[in-house]
Amino acid sequence: MPTLTIREAIRLGLDEALETDPSVFLMGEDIGTYGGAYAVTAGLLEKYGPDRVRDTPISEAAFIGAGVGAAAGGLRPIVELMSMSFALVGFDQIVNMAANLRYMSGGQIKAPMVIRAPTGAGMQLAATHSQSFETWLAEVPGLRVVAPSTPYDALGLLRSSIKEDNPVIYAESAGLYGASGETPAEYYEVPIGSAKVCRSGDDATLISYGHGMPILYESAEILAARGVSAEVIDLRSLSPIDTGVLVDSVQKTGRVLALDTARRSGGIMAEVTATLQEQTSDWLDGPVVRIGAKCAPWPYNREMEQGSLPDAQDVTGMLSATYDL
C-alpha cells in the first residue's frame, strides 16, 4: 500500500473531490497561491483555478457565512480555517445557522459543508492559536465532528464528510500533519460515528482521539513491559460517539482511562466517561479515570507548553494509582 502523511492524505481527498464533483469548491485564507497555512492545499489553485479554490478576506464570519449560504444553495463547500481557535469568530454562522438549517426548515434546506481546521496545542502557537474547540462543537445538535489521527482515517473520514448532508467539523491535529502510514490505493470510506480498536487488550481500556493517540500507544508499550495488556481505542468521531465499541471494550477489561489533549474541564472525555459510568458500572473494577490538559491559557514557552499537556507518564501513573496496574 502507498505510504502517505496526514497532510498528503487530506490533499488527496480534496483533489479527488474537486476532480469528481463540480459542486465542491474550497475557500479560506491563503489556501490558493500560498497553499494553506500547513501546505495542505498546495498546488490545487494551479490545477483547478480561482473559481474552485478561493482565497478569502481575513474574516471568518464572512467566509463561513458564505459557505453556509453556498451549501444551502446546493453546493458542497469545504471551508478551511487557519486555526480551530478562529472558529470563535464564526460561531453564530456555525452553531445558529449551519447546524440548525435542516431542522428549522423541516428538511427542505440542507447545509452540506465541511469546515476544516488545525487544532490543538504543542506547536508553540500560544494561547489564542492552540485551542481545541472541536470539543465544544461536538455538543451542538446538527453538527458532525470528526478528528483523524492517521492518514488512513484522514482520507476515509474526509470522503465521508464531503458526502454528508449535515455540516461537518473536520478537526486536524496540528502536530500530526507529518505523521505517515499506509493508505490503500483503492477507494474506501471511514463512516462518521465509528470508533476503532487500534490495539486489543484485556486489562484496561484506553480511549482518546487525534493528538492523544500517540500518547496512548506509548502508554500501552510501557504497560506491556509491566505485563499489562491495554486495549487502545481511537474515537475518530466526537459527534456522534460510537458508544457501542467503548461499552464492549470496558465490559471486557473492567478498567478505563480516557485521555483528552484538550483541557480536562468540559472536554469531550467528560461525556465519554459519564456515558461509560452509566452503561458499564456493573463491569467496572474501579472508578472511570479521565486525564486532560492543564486548565490554563496555553503558554508560548515550549517547556511550559509541554508541561501543560498530558503524556504517557501521566497515563500510566494514573492507571497505577487507580487500578494498581
Active site residue: 8, 29, 60, 80, which one? Answer: 60
- Cα-based torsion angle of the residue sequence 8, 83, 109, 193 in order, rounded to the nearest 10 degrees: 60
Whether residue 206 contacts residue 242, with contact meaning beta carbons closer than 8 Å, is answered with no
| Residue 67 and residue 115 in contact, taking contact as beta carbons nearer than 8 Å | yes
DSSP states along 30-62: T-SSS--TTSTTTTHHHHH-TTTEEE--S-HHH
- Phi-psi sector, 220: left (phi>0), alpha (psi -120 to 50), beta: alpha
- Note if 172 is an active site residue: no
Active-site residue identified among 8, 29, 80, 129:
129
- Separation CA 270–CA 229 (nearest Å): 24
Is residue 145 within 8 A of residue 137, CB to CB? The reply is: yes
129 is catalytic: yes
Contact 114, 166 (CB under 8 A): no
End-to-end Cα, the chain, rounded Å:
37
Quick check: 205 and 235 in contact, CB under 8 A?
Answer: no
Q: Which residues are catalytic?
A: 60, 129
